[in-house]
Amino acid sequence: MTVPSEPIRLTVAQALVRFLAAQRSERDGAEHRLFAGCFGIFGHGNVAGLGQALLEAELSDPGALRYLQGRNEQGMVHAAAAYARMRNRMRMWACTSSIGPGATNMVTGAALATINRLPVLLLPGDVFATRPSRPVLQELEHPVSYDVSVNDAFRPVSAFFDRVWRPEQLPSALLGAMRVLTDPAQTGAVTLALPQDVQAEAWDWPAALFAPRVWHVARPVPEPAALDRALAVIRTARRPLIIAGGGVIYSEACAELAELAEAAGIPVAQTQAGKGALPYDHPLSVGAMGSTGSTAANQLAREADVVIGVGTRYSDFTTASGSAFADPGVRFVNINVAPADAAKQSGTAVTADAREALRALTAGLAGWSASDEYRALAWRLAAEWDETVTRAYTLGHQPRPAQSEVIGVVNEVSGPRDVVLCAAGSMPGDLHKLWRARDPKGYHVEYGYSCMGYEIAGGLGAKLAAPDRDVYVMVGDGSYLMMAQELVTAVAEGVKLIVVLVQNQGFASIGALSQSVGAQRFGTAYRYRDPATGRLDGGVLPVDLAANAQSLGARVLRAQTIGEFRAALIQAREDPGPGPVVVHVETDPLAPSPSSQSWWDVPVAQVSRLDSTRQAYADYVEQRQKQRPLLG
């Protein structure tokens, strides 16, 4: 019999820090510290609680829970999400904020993490539990509900939410939080709201709370009957297509994906999160799927009779808003660890880990294969698309280069294991179409939330997760203006990022979208208001983002031509660091990008006085005919 040890007296915040440092994750026998550290920005809501506790930890046990100072709370959460993505969700960060605006700045990051199924632990400070001096600075003071605070805004965007009103609640809150963070089907942002007085309150904790704990990340195996149903559907296929999503990569199932594809002769298209699951030049890789896809993947999707989705949530970009699959009899088999995703597209659901299910499918299909002609068709279509990519990489567009040429140079200058990272604007679509992915972790485009401002902060997180790879952050001028602050964190921490800052004077993406919906690019360029017209169509603004980056402590190189850009990028690559290097390049927002021969549903005004809108609406009505709503 073990003698119970003495309780340990600590504040709630000290206990929390000690607990987090003791957590571990395990999968396939590989064990890691679950938390790489804690990002934080302090204010009255956390300085005396978590701030004091992190200081004590740093002084007494520096490696236990590293502290990193963020510049914007949203940026901290983005960095944490990018880190978790790079580490296939086996390692993660906590983020502590003050109350009020510090806390709500994290809400956008929480939504991004939850939508992308990425684990982050959020620790917003909260209003007094004891209410001695109500309202505390930044308290919402809801007139009819005193237990509501601004932190309730985290509830819909969190995979788990709890508020620790009393110290006794902490152990159950922590255990619930860890369970969800390490569950591949449920993971996302986990929020523990911590009233500022409770954080500083002392309590006698059982020593067992701080014992090392291992969270085993599950690989659920397919139910035999579900597997049989899936095999029966696949065996009927003449034109099967696999859609590989992020789940393939998180499950580390890329080798198993290639085995199934090769054994059964099934071409593989990839979503934004799944790009890199097969290298671009694999004989069965047909490139990107959907609205920003390759013509190869989209033609095969149009004709497919069986679609096998692996680890995909079938976003509208993947399904071309429900128009990608045109065969009237098309059937879906969905392998996903999350039941809600496995059930999509009215499909045959196999709720399981991607690697386990792919192995079982390969074994179950032994001896079965699609025809050689079909394999050859996929190869030919992919080769045609690759020629399109080469042309886009070498357009020779004048006087300013096209974005596709910039992407081509980054692809050529970066190494096969390096990471390209992006989130919003016209680049994610162009990267999805055009990037030649060579490594499962080499393509990092956040397109679940497509959040402007993720780029630099996400780059910081990715580089912290993979210091042995170069990280090329692709950021537009709009996204840069939204959030570049974590450049300063990269400077302070000596984290080398290579930031490609693409200046095209506004929103190339939404400008093109605006034009396609008949809204004439209204409000999408960055321009002076012209006193003559009263409209935002005056001259180009005197904004110098290169100088801005330099003022934040980054080393900056400027390029005008594509040749100068290549030279600058090589110089940035060879820069020994530490800290970020920014390469500023101006591109032509109107330069063409190859068509995906696909569609994306953005509703157009049904009535209008503008010819442009009426014409766009007529086109829209026609396009909508292709939608297959029952496959939603």
Ligand X SMILES: Cc1ncc(C[n+]2csc(CCOP(=O)(O)OP(=O)(O)O)c2C)c(N)n1
Other CB atoms within 10 A of residue 363 CB: 12
Q: Parallel, antiparallel, or unpaired for β 23-27 and 160-163? A: unpaired
Tell whether residue 477 is a contact of Mg ion (CB under 5 A). yes
Comparing CB distances to ligand X, the nearer of 209 and 583 is 583
Amino acid at site 536: L
Number of residues that bind Mg ion (CB under 5 A): 4
3-state secondary structure of 626: coil
Structure tokens at 561: 């031509």
Comparing CB distances to Mg ion, the nearer of 381 and 501 is 501
When CB distances are held under 5 to 8 angstroms depending on the partner's kind, the choice from ligand X, Mg ion, none that residue 424 binds is ligand X
Q: Which residue has the tokens 């030279």?
A: 567
Distance CA 191, CA 188 (A): 10
CB of 589 to ligand X, least distance (A): 6
* Of the residues 90, 94, 424, 557, which one makes contact with ligand X according to CB under 6 A: 424
CB of 485 to ligand X, least distance (A): 14
When CB distances are held under 5 to 8 angstroms depending on the partner's kind, the choice from ligand X, Mg ion, none that residue 518 binds is none
Tell me the per-residue interface mask from 495 to 534 with ligand X, x by CB under 6 A, - otherwise: ---------x--xxxx------------------------
Comparing CB distances to Mg ion, the nearer of 40 and 478 is 478
What residues contact residue 192 under an 8 Å CB cut-off, 6+ apart?
Answer: 16, 121, 122, 123, 161, 162, 163, 164, 173, 174, 177
Tell whether residue 476 is a contact of Mg ion (CB under 5 A). yes
* Of the residues 11, 426, 548, 598, which one makes contact with ligand X according to CB under 6 A: 426
Q: Specify the stretch interacting with ligand X by CB under 6 A; choose among 86-94, 145-153, 167-175, 448-456.
A: 448-456
* Of the residues 478, 511, 518, 580, which one makes contact with Mg ion according to CB under 5 A: 478
Comparing CB distances to Mg ion, the nearer of 341 and 477 is 477
When CB distances are held under 5 to 8 angstroms depending on the partner's kind, the choice from ligand X, Mg ion, none that residue 246 binds is none
Distance CA 135, CA 377 (A): 68
* Of the residues 118, 452, 466, 582, which one makes contact with ligand X according to CB under 6 A: 452
Tell me the per-residue interface mask from 489 to 508 with Mg ion, x by CB under 5 A, - otherwise: ---------------x----
Structure tokens at 334: 């969905």
Q: DSSP code of 326?
A: -
**Whole-number Cα distances in Å, 621 to 104, 402, 521, 530, 625:** 40, 32, 21, 36, 7
Distance CA 160, CA 180 (A): 7
* Of the residues 425, 458, 459, 518, which one makes contact with ligand X according to CB under 6 A: 425
CB of 151 to ligand X, least distance (A): 21
Give 193's strand partners: 163
Q: Write the Ramachandran bin of 565: left for phi over 0, alpha for psi from -120 to 50, otherwise beta.
A: alpha
Q: Which residue has the tokens 């939603």?
A: 632
Comparing CB distances to ligand X, the nearer of 377 and 484 is 484
Number of residues that bind ligand X (CB under 6 A): 18
CB of 273 to ligand X, least distance (A): 16
Helices (H), 398-485: 403-413, 427-434, 454-465, 477-482
CB of 104 to ligand X, least distance (A): 14
Tell whether residue 404 is a contact of ligand X (CB under 6 A). no
Distance CA 193, CA 157 (A): 14
Identify whether the C-beta of residue 589 lies closer than 8 Å to the C-beta of residue 433. Answer: no
Contact residues toward Mg ion (CB under 5 A) are 476-478, 504
Contact residues toward ligand X (CB under 6 A) are 424-427, 450-453, 476-479, 482, 504, 507-510
